[in-house]
Structure 1
Amino acid sequence: MTEIKQRISERTKSEAKTAAVLKGAMKEFLQNGYAGTSMDKVAKSAGVSKATVYSHFGDKENLFNVVIQDLVKDEFQQFMGLEKPQSLEQDPKIVLSAMTTKMLANFQNNRSFQDFMRIIVGESGRFPELAKAYVNGVAKPTIEILTKYLKSHPALELADPEATVRVMMGTMVYFVMLQEMMHGKDIVPLEGDRVIKTLTDLITRNQD
């Protein structure tokens, strides 16, 4: 029993250190960008040794990837439930409207996510693997799940479900970038509900 308790204690300590490193890394990346962040700075911000940072995450690139995945995991799980069988049977107009509403609200209200998107885009030329990690970890599974969902509803009569998903995602991303990240809401204001309704109506126009 003592050995089991010791293992549990060690695992708990390890998880606590991991959480501290991720929190410290997020702070440093947001303040200094990817290039301006070092493992030394992350260790200092997290209150752990540099050896601990390296032992848990290997290198800065992997640490950044984990931070990105940790940042979007909750948001992704909240509005992407389409891999569940019961979701695949629900009315597309209701599902797509609810999902895009949650997606837009999360992205608009999550300043940290917006800041990380700036870093990914800004550093993608010098560090293409960062952008690729985001695409593999976030964009690709979203595209696959939504494409599967649209294909499961032939009554929509979509000629190309995957391309439809790309158009939908591109519209949402551009809307957030223009309105929130580029301050477009002060110059060319537009309610998100109008974008969501237009997208949903276009995709489900043949449903009835």
Structure 2
Amino acid sequence: MPSAEAAANGARGLRTLRKRNAILEGARREFLRHGYAATSMDRVARAAAVSKATVYSHFSDKEALFRALTEQLVGERLSELFGASPREALPSEPAAALRELAARCLASREGQPPFLSFLRLVIGESERFPELARTFVAQLERTGVAQVVHLFEALPAGPDAEMRARVFMGALVHLILMQDLLHGREVAPVDRQTYAAVLVDLVSRVG
């Protein structure tokens, strides 16, 4: 059995994690509601139902808080796309994995998913706060891009795997921007299943 001290340390660690998650959730709501510039650490503290000192004990400043929120939301989105458990993992065959990845990326949902709402915020604030956009892109580069490149490297030999991976991701982002972020589903009524199938066929061809 764990000692009383170990149990107490475990309970403190759980409380700390819960407070950190509450701060991140409060920050997400405030950033989306008011934008980056108008969101203060006071607002975040109130939204998270913690003291301002508690917020600063976890995050040194607003930019650090935004970076942590970016990492969390990008991580959650990548878990949705690539699978957070073996049961949810992509198929082992590379082409099948790409088809499933494209389908997950373009899957329709009710309401605006948190990741897309956050992406809209980053784009809207990128002119005034370019560092926020760079943080967002850097997180995607470190995690998502590498995983997609790995899938293309597993395909039969063909053109540059990284370039094909970027074309693949760029085409998916294009449709999401057109139909979701710019509310263009009626203007550009592209069938997403067909789009994903044609895209994977194009980028996975050899020669």
TM-score interval for Structure 1 and Structure 2 normalised by the shorter chain: 0.7 to 0.9
- AA aligned to 2:172 is M
Structure 2 partner of 1:202: 202
| Alignment match, 1:158 | 158
Q: 1:88 to 1:107 in 2, by over 3 A?
A: closer
CA distance in 2, matches of 1:4, 1:38: 36
**Which residue does the alignment assign to 2:175?**
175
Tell me the equivalent position of 1:79.
81
Distance 1:136 1:108, change over 3 A: farther
**Aligned pair 1:25/2:27, yes or no?**
yes
Find the aligned partners of 1:140 and 1:10 in 2 and give their Cα distance.
31
Deviations 1:3-28 (A, max 9, x none): 22221221121111111111111110
The TM-score normalised by the length of structure 2 is 0.87
Would the aligned equivalents of 1:120 and 1:130 in 2 still touch at CA under 8 Å?
yes
Aligned length: 201
Question: Which residue does 2:120 correspond to in 1?
Answer: 118
- Aligned partner of 2:50 in structure 1 is 48
Deviations 1:63-98 (A, max 9, x none): 1121122223233023226xx9xx899333211101
CA distance in 2, matches of 1:15, 1:23: 12
Equivalent-residue separation in structure 1 for 2:177 and 2:118 (angstroms): 12
Q: Which residue of 1 aligns with 2:137?
A: 135
**2: CA distance, partners of 1:54 / 1:150:** 42
5+ residue gaps in structure 1? none
Instruction: Indicate the RMSD between aligned Cα atoms, in angstroms.
Output: 2.4
C-alpha separation between the residues in 2 aligned to 1:40 and 1:13?
21
Which structure 2 segments of 5+ residues have no match?
A: none
Answer yes or no: is the 8 Å Cα contact 2:77–2:115 preserved in 1.
no
TM-score normalized by the length of structure 1 = 0.87
The structural deviation recorded for 1:152 is 2.7
* Displacement after TM superposition at 1:109 (Å): 6.0
Q: 1:133 to 1:60 in 2, by over 3 A?
A: same
Cα distance in 2 for partners of 1:165, 1:43 equals 40
Q: Contact (CA 8 Å) 1:18, 1:56: kept in 2 or not?
A: yes
Give the fraction of aligned pairs with identical amino acids, expressed as a percent. 35
**What is residue 147 of structure 1 aligned with on the other side?**
149
Secondary structure at the counterpart of residue 127 of structure 2: coil
- Aligned mates of 2:91, 2:4 — CA distance in 1: 50
